[in-house]
Amino acid sequence: MTYSGVDYYRLEELLTEEERMVRDVARRFVEEEFLPRVQRCFREGSFPLDLVPRLGQLGFLGMTLPARYGCAGMNNIAYGLVSQELERGDSGLRSFASVQSSLVMYPIYTFGSEEQKGFWLPRLARAEAIGCFGLTEPDFGSNPAGLRTRAKKSAGGYVLNGTKRWITNGSIADVAVVWAKLEEDGRDTIRGFLVEKERHGFLRREIEGKFSFRASVTSELIFEDCWIPQENLLPGTTGLKSALMCLTQARYGIAWGAIGAAIACYECALEYAKSRVMFSRPIAGYQLVQAKLVWMLTEITKAQLLSFRLGKLKDGGQLRPEHVSMAKMNNVAIALQIARLARDILGANGITDDYPVIRHLLNLETVNTYEGTEDIHRLTIGRDITGLSAFE
């Protein structure tokens, strides 16, 4: 299959054959199996759960982790390209893969015991188990350091109490990675715990009324004296930093994913503008419309270059969290603006789901907020370059 996407600066030439192949497989999957269903899913407010095993079969879950745990062992450019193609379909589809890969499999791989890795990673890779990541709480979003969920030592394990909110995949997950404060040596430390769905005192509630991420499950997790055994602690977690390390992985995928949503909106607007005749001429012939289309393509091209370099830094072991902040902040912000401009170019048609633009626009409002809001990333980079923290 030849790639026919937006590639103004011929980045295609910088990709390896394997990277192109993986991207094309993802693209075909999205076009043939996901896109024909997404309008209905978004209308109904449902996630196409039956497609999840396909993500496993295609090797898209935990795809950078090693083969000994049943994963594909691919590089980060390939992971980025897959994220881009999934989000070209819908942010909710990419989010499913991001959460499973970066927020569940990554912490188990990085902080888990050999038993935890051996048990969970192959199941999660094959999509025989679904995971979720519980960090955010009703009163602690941008500032997770203040989280109130607590783990208390108890006979043979821990008892969890607290509430997590806005948790992707929460109600469909077999296992939750939950971040809670544990008193150790007289002080509180944030640790990660694995909580299986069957645990007594673990309740899940799906959040209703969303106008964004309608084809994705978002839930509240409630822990009421929920006992888990000692071996469910992720032993390598040492504080908030462990949770933030997971976010860096997920934000990397989001930086690429947002480009996919932007491309979908740009391509739709370009086609529409070429065929929509107003004042006796296709609107694409008007200078103001061309200016919008050119801005969109320029920003997509810049975002592609940023992400490609980011991937090379990551594969080369030189990536800093602040590098990821810049790409997440920029790429999602421009994708959101591109979606808004595309919506404008489509006129009244832009508000219907006959076109993908309004769905991407609504989704991108979430993507701009989750995994660190645009301003939190701005302040993170501000702290990095000035040495002064705006958070304190």
Residue that is written with structure tokens 């989010």 in the block: 95
Phi, psi of 387 (to 5 degrees): 80, 10
Smaller CB distance to ligand FAD: residue 250 or 327?
A: 250
Q: Tell me the two tokens of residue 377.
A: 């990333």
In the complex, minimum distance from the CB of residue 384 to ligand FAD, in angstroms, rounded to a whole number: 15
From the list ligand TGC, ligand FAD, none, partner contacted by residue 73 (C-beta under 5 to 8 A by kind): none
- Which residue has its beta carbon closest to ligand FAD? 141
Residues in Cβ contact with 303 at an 8 Å cutoff, skipping those fewer than 6 apart: 255, 258, 259, 262, 327, 330, 331, 334, 335
Q: Which amino acid is at 37?
A: R
Among positions 63, 359, 376, 380, the unique one binding ligand FAD when judged by CB under 6 A: 376
In the complex, minimum distance from the CB of residue 333 to ligand FAD, in angstroms, rounded to a whole number: 12
Residues in Cβ contact with 148 at an 8 Å cutoff, skipping those fewer than 6 apart: 137, 139, 140, 162, 181
Q: Are strands 150-154 and 157-168 parallel, antiparallel or unpaired?
A: antiparallel
The total of other beta-carbon atoms located within 10 Å of residue 68's CB is: 11
Per-residue binder mask for ligand FAD (CB under 6 A), 126-165, x = binder: -------xxxx----xx-----------------------
Among residues 67, 98, 365, 357, which one has the least CA distance to residue 253?
Answer: 98
Is 128 part of the annotated catalytic residue set? no
In the complex, minimum distance from the CB of residue 371 to ligand FAD, in angstroms, rounded to a whole number: 6
List the interface residues with ligand FAD, window 190-249 (CB under 6 A): 213, 218
Residue that is written with structure tokens 């994963």 in the block: 71
d(CA 165, CA 188): 21
- Count of residues touching ligand FAD (by CB under 6 A): 21
Residue that is written with structure tokens 């396909």 in the block: 54
Binding site for ligand TGC (CB under 6 A): 95, 98-99, 133, 135-136, 142-145, 168, 240-241, 244-245, 247-248, 250, 321, 370-372, 376, 380, 391
Burial class (CB in 10 A: 0-12, 13-18, 19+), 388: exposed
DSSP 10: -
Residues in Cβ contact with 81 at an 8 Å cutoff, skipping those fewer than 6 apart: 15, 19, 22, 23, 26, 256
In the complex, minimum distance from the CB of residue 66 to ligand FAD, in angstroms, rounded to a whole number: 25
From the list ligand TGC, ligand FAD, none, partner contacted by residue 245 (C-beta under 5 to 8 A by kind): ligand TGC
CA 350 to chain centre: 25
Q: Are strands 218-229 and 157-168 parallel, antiparallel or unpaired?
A: antiparallel
In the complex, minimum distance from the CB of residue 75 to ligand TGC, in angstroms, rounded to a whole number: 20
From the list ligand TGC, ligand FAD, none, partner contacted by residue 134 (C-beta under 5 to 8 A by kind): ligand FAD
From the list ligand TGC, ligand FAD, none, partner contacted by residue 137 (C-beta under 5 to 8 A by kind): none
Active-site choice (19, 299, 371, 374) = 371
Smaller CB distance to ligand TGC: residue 73 or 321?
A: 321
From the list ligand TGC, ligand FAD, none, partner contacted by residue 250 (C-beta under 5 to 8 A by kind): ligand TGC
Residue numbers at the binding site for ligand FAD (CB under 6 A)? 99, 133-136, 141-142, 166-168, 213, 218, 366, 369-371, 373, 375-376, 379, 391
- List the catalytic residues: 371
